[in-house]
Structure 1
Amino acid sequence: MELNLLLALALGVATIVVVVLFTRLDAFVGLIAAGLVTGLVAGGSPTDIVGWITEGFGSTLASIGIVIGLGVAIGKILEVSGAADALARAFLRAFGKGREEWAMASVGAVVSVPVFCDSGYVIMNPLARSIARVKRGGYVALALALGCGMTLTHHLVPPTPGPLGVAGILQADLGAVILTGLVFTVILLPVVVLYARWIGPRLEAEIVPAVREAVYPEPARVRGTGGTDAHRGSAQEHSGEAGTTVSAPEAAGDAAEAGEAPAEEGRARRISGFLAFLPLAVPLVLIVANTVTAAIDRSNQGALYGDYEAAAWTQPFAFLGDPVIALIIGLVIAVYALLPRWTPRGRVHSWLAEAAASAGLILLITGAGGGFGLVLRESGVGDALAEAVGATGLPAFLVPFVIATLVRLAQGSGTVAMITAASVTAPLVAGLGISPVVAALACTAGSMCCSYFNDSYFWVVTRFTGLDGTAALKGWSGITTVAWAASIPLLFVASLIL
């Protein structure tokens, strides 16, 4: 590999890390700056480089931007309606007594598909505390299982924004990424639960006093009157329990502000687990059905690769299974099936606006990653890197995996790590003979590695769990590293099959 091209790639990745860690700017600016630095060092003209960045930004968001926005909107409705909590309780009933860690890991995996990890964990953590309070123990294992269950789907399964962005940059079939990501999650969940069950009892004595008091209050304070309510109220305030459901009084207040009369006052609405799952299940089923029917049609026509003329019977599946259409259907189901009919229109609009605001940075980072990737491709860095990697004999799927791992360790954000890895890998996919689906999974799995002090989610989980110092590293950094390591053999198998 030519020295200037190798230097261009190294300086580009270093630019992202430096901007994120040592400046007041964010990853969006870091990725744009990385594209400029890489292009200039590789010998591109300034005007060409700017053109590559803008073209890559636009083409990436053209394919994936709407989908990210819709996915975040569904997650917001699940959060504010109380559907996420209803899902959790349904999973607990399904798994039964004595298997609470399995239930918490599973519900974490489901909730984290549409809801960001940080807010999803805050919503679900009070349930883990309630279970531990009843059991009078086991809180650390429950909290770690919940947190890492969320990590798995947050990193592996679209329509979570990070994996969606990776699929768009690598032009991987979204349905295939969803299916394989779900398979990876199902296989990795037992690994997560077993580690949580092993390390949890060893760290139970390390819980900080404030959290211990909130999780395991004295029996007299729980069962008594007067001070009981105050204690419970303070515990709820500490753990963030309040505000996750839409009750009639809350809706009444919103209606009063909007000048509307609530249809039903004073009565909260309970959501079944089945109803809560519909906004997630329907879009996923439609997208996967499109992938499966297209694969069957290709097989029947003997056109497994390249373009082909789709049969008429696949057209309804292709339309309904398009990610944009499927997620619009999911959003409609969420708004009209989960929210009470007395919820004011203005209140729903404000929630959707909040969702759009939270999706904004993800969209910018994804688009900037696409721009960085096109700079790598057009400047010749991608082809040169593919030749260099091919000469080493390193398995092709490990290239994006290692890149994602290194970027994650350097700057902490899993989303930035997987987008950066996808951007660097995109020009290599064809040359290395690796499936875009496998490359996408390698980017997302590599970005799970060792969540520690530079990761915001590390602080969310460890603060709510009540772990500090080495206990936090053993618990949370340990469980995420175990999940990352366990994904390597799965990637190897996937590279042989796909």
Structure 2
Amino acid sequence: MGQDTLLLIYLGISLVIMLGLVVKFKINVAISLVMASLFMGLASGLGLLGTLDGISQGFGGLMTDLGIPIGLGVILGKLISDSGGAYSIAEAILKRTNEKWALYSLGIASFVLAIPVFFDVAFIILVPLAIQLGNKINKPLPYAVGAIIIGAAIAHTLVPPTPNPLAAAGILDFDLGIMIVVGVIVGLLGTLCTVKIYFMILDKGFWNKDTDEDATMENPYGTMDIPENRPSAFLSIIPIVLPSILILFGSFGNVFFDENPAIITFLSDRIVALLAGTIVAYFVAAKALNKNKRDLSSSEAMQAAGIVLLITGAGGSFGTIIKSTGIDQAILNIFVSDAHSTISVLLVAFFMGVLFRTITGSGTVAGITTMTIMAGVSAGVDVHPVWVAMASLSGGLMLGHVNDSGFWISTKIAGLSVKGGLKTYTTSEAIAGFVVIIITIIGAHIF
């Protein structure tokens, strides 16, 4: 048996270890990732100290790039959410549309909100609006719920400053501004196309109200206190777009200067950009929240960020250990017979992302681990790394199910049965993953 095959077998065993710890023994995903990393490093010959060094370097390297930006991004989103600004944005988008396009606008509203906030927060904010909208235009529950899931899942997966797309530029070594532009364009196209396809499936009788909705739930549509004096949609969207504008300054500067002036490099740094957005969010939130409430909101955001950072860092450790074993070359040798085959590399990244997402239930783990492995693979292929990132992340969109917290949040808050959750959360995200990889393959061949 060749060394390449052995490495893939060890990877498979490490994934089984991770899955067993998470599913069977209910161990935290971060701890399970470290355990899987230990096995992978030792089995593949990195040695005791080499394995420990790989785990430390993988965690520390990712936190160096992402620790502060992720924390700032979480605070920004929490302030906009708690002040009612996110609700104002969603309401403004829905008011500016007619009945024919109302559900598509709901998907776009969900996409916009999920850029600064986590999937579950965007979902909770939009569900009450979605239910009202569905009743108004006489559409069954899954139409509105599906539109929210699609928009939020795609934005959370593809558009910085959420952890995966924020990490993509550093892992695959390309300009973060490119990730923002491509993520937004592909994400918006993907959202509209996925919503259309999902609605076509629902139109064919895919939904059964009797078995797919849970009539026993007392309060199925969630609760969120929206301040009466919340900031306007215009004010609320400024902290969201400001970091992207500053980061893009650096990208545009590269076009006009051989080397960006220090001021442009400073302002376009992800830490400075997100710090600026967070400071603006703090002042925007002042319309609805006093100082103590804003401080409390920031503190709660940091508690939530701690979990995200731990899982993200552990995913970086696992990815670094895997990369250290030389498995990227093994993948090229076994799966990519032509090292210049763009579509082969993109499909390998896609299906690897699907595998990690299905097993771990975490899109963050799936995306970061896949991109880390593919960083070495993509170096020998004539394709811009942003498309490798998009392929990896589109795989991480796929097949979220009962081992995914997002599945239970959307299922229980929307008042669905488990079967209904599979028909909304799992099915819509599966369609989204396929749509995004198709757009990615097309984009990689055009650009």
| TM-score higher than 0.5 | yes
Give the whole-Å Cα distance in 1 for the aligned partners of 2:170 and 2:260.
25
The yes-or-no answer on 1:431 pairing with 2:413 is no
C-alpha distance in structure 2 between counterparts of 1:23 and 1:170, whole Å: 34
Q: Distance in 2 between matches of 1:490 and 1:110?
A: 20
**CA displacement at 1:72 relative to structure 2:** 0.7
Report the counterpart of residue 476 of structure 1 in structure 2.
425
Q: 1:87 to 1:212 in 2, by over 3 A?
A: farther
Q: What is the CA–CA distance in structure 1 between the aligned matches of 2:366 and 2:212, rounded to whole Å?
A: 35
Match of 2:275 among 292, 306, 328: 328
Match status 1:241 vs 2:223: yes
Structure 1 spans left out of the alignment, 5+ residues: 215-233, 247-267, 302-309
In the TM superposition, residue 239 of structure 1 has moved relative to its aligned partner by 2.1
Rounded to whole Å, the distance in 2 between the matches of 1:193 and 1:391 is 36
Q: 1:399 to 1:137 in 2, by over 3 A?
A: closer
Q: Distance in 1 between matches of 2:57 and 2:213?
A: 52
Closer, same or farther in 2 for the Cα pair 1:193/1:142, shift >3 Å?
same
- Confirm or deny: 8 A CA contact 1:450 1:481 kept in the other structure: yes
- Correspondent of 2:437 among 484, 488, 491: 488
Residue in 2 that maps onto 1:116: 118
Query: Which moved further from structure 2: 425-434 or 348-357?
Result: 425-434
CA distance in structure 2 between the aligned counterparts of 1:204 and 1:494, rounded to whole angstroms: 34
1:208-247 equivalences under 5 Å are 238-243=220-225, 245-246=226-227
Tell me the amino acid that sits aligned with residue 305 of structure 2: A
> SS of 1:396's equivalent?
helix
Structure 2 Cα separation of the partners of residues 370 and 13 of structure 1: 15
CA-based RMSD: 2.5
Q: In structure 2, what is the Cα distance between the partners aligned to 1:213 and 1:329?
A: 46
- Report what 1:400 is aligned to: 349
Whether contact under 8 Å (1:434, 1:495) holds in the other structure is yes
Q: How many residues align?
A: 441
2:159 corresponds to which residue? 157
> Matches of 1:137 and 1:366 in 2, distance apart?
38
1:373 to 311, 319, 324: 319
- Between the aligned partners of 1:156 and 1:37, the Cα distance in structure 2 is 31
Q: 2-side partners of 1:121 and 1:151: how far apart?
A: 10
Q: Which residue of 2 aligns with 1:259?
A: none
8 Å CA contact 1:412, 1:451 repeated in 2: yes
Structure 1 stretch displaced more, 442-451 or 432-441: 432-441
Specify the alignment match of 1:220 in structure 2: none
**TM-fit CA distance, 1:127:** 0.6
Equivalent residues of 1:377, 1:383 under 8 A apart: no
Q: Give, in angstroms, the shift of residue 387 of structure 1.
A: 3.0
- For 2:43 and 2:372, the matched residues in 1 are separated by 17
| Mapped partners of 1:167, 1:415: distance in 2 | 15
User: Cα 1:24–1:482, aligned 2, differ >3 Å: closer, same or farther?
Assistant: closer
| Aligned-partner SS, 2:100 | coil
- Give the 3 Å change call, closer, same or farther, for CA 205–497 of structure 1 in structure 2: closer
Match of 2:295? Answer: 349
Deviations 1:211-246 (A, max 9, x none): 7799xxxxxxxxxxxxxxxxxxx8xx5422332x34
8 A Cα contact 2:10 2:43, kept in partner: yes
Aligned mates of 2:224, 2:57 — CA distance in 1:
45
Q: Offset of 1:159 from its aligned partner?
A: 0.6
2:20 alignment partner, one of 18, 21, 30:
18
For residues 431 and 205 of structure 1, the distance between their equivalents in structure 2, rounded to whole angstroms, comes to: 49
Matches within 5 A, 1:18-167: 18-167=20-169
- 1:456 is aligned, of 399, 405, 419, to 405
**Deviation of the 1:86 alpha carbon:** 0.2
Give runs of aligned pairs for residues 271-420 of structure 1, distance below 5 A: 271-297=231-257, 301=258, 310-312=259-261, 315-340=262-287, 343-391=289-337, 395-420=344-369
Q: Identity over the aligned pairs, expressed in percent?
A: 29
- Residue 196 of structure 1 deviates from its aligned partner by 4.1
TM-score, length basis structure 2: 0.90
Change (3 A) 1:398 1:448: same
Q: Counterparts of 1:210 and 1:311 in 2: how far apart (Å)?
A: 56
Q: What's the offset of the Cα at 1:66?
A: 0.9
Which one-letter code corresponds to 1:190 in the other structure?
L
Query: How far did residue 442 of structure 1 move?
Result: 1.3
Q: Which residue in the other structure is 1:6 paired with? A: 8
- Which protein shows a greater Rg? 1
The 1:5–1:241 alpha-carbon spacing in structure 2 relative to 1, beyond 3 Å, is closer
CA distance in 2, matches of 1:463, 1:74: 26
> How far did 1:289 drift?
2.6
CA contact (8 A) 1:192 1:479 kept: yes
Whether the 8 Å contact between 2:212 and 2:419 is mirrored in structure 1 is: no
Pair 472,24 (structure 1): closer, same or farther in 2 beyond 3 Å: closer
Q: Residues 251-270 of structure 1 correspond to what in structure 2 (within 5 A)? A: 268-270=228-230
Query: Which one-letter code corresponds to 1:21 in the other structure?
Result: V
CA distance, structure 1, for counterparts of residue 405 and residue 316 of structure 2: 24
**Residues 426 and 14 of structure 1, relative CA distance in 2, 3 Å threshold:** farther
Three-state SS of the structure 1 residue aligned to 2:93 is helix
* Aligned-residue offset at 1:100: 1.3
C-alpha change, 1:483 and 1:44, in structure 2 (3 Å) is same
Question: Are residues 374 and 205 of structure 1, via their aligned partners in 2, closer, same or farther at CA, if it must alter by over 3 Å?
Answer: closer
Judged with a 3 Å threshold, the aligned counterparts in structure 2 of structure 1 residues 478 and 332 are, in CA distance, closer, same or farther, namely same
Amino acid at match of 1:239: Y
| Corresponding letter in the other structure for 2:222 | G
Offset, 1:282: 1.0
- In the alignment, the residues of structure 1 paired with residue 79 and residue 413 of structure 2 have an alpha-carbon distance, to the nearest angstrom, of 24
Work out whether residues 18 and 35 of structure 2, in 8 Å CA contact, stay in contact via their aligned partners in 1. Answer: yes
Q: Distance in 2 between matches of 1:186 and 1:420?
A: 25
Cα 1:13–1:171, aligned 2, differ >3 Å: closer, same or farther? farther
Q: Is the 8 A contact 1:126 1:240 kept in 2?
A: yes
Q: Please tell me the residue identity of whatever aligns with 1:57.
A: F
Which amino acid in the other structure matches residue 339 of structure 1?
Answer: A
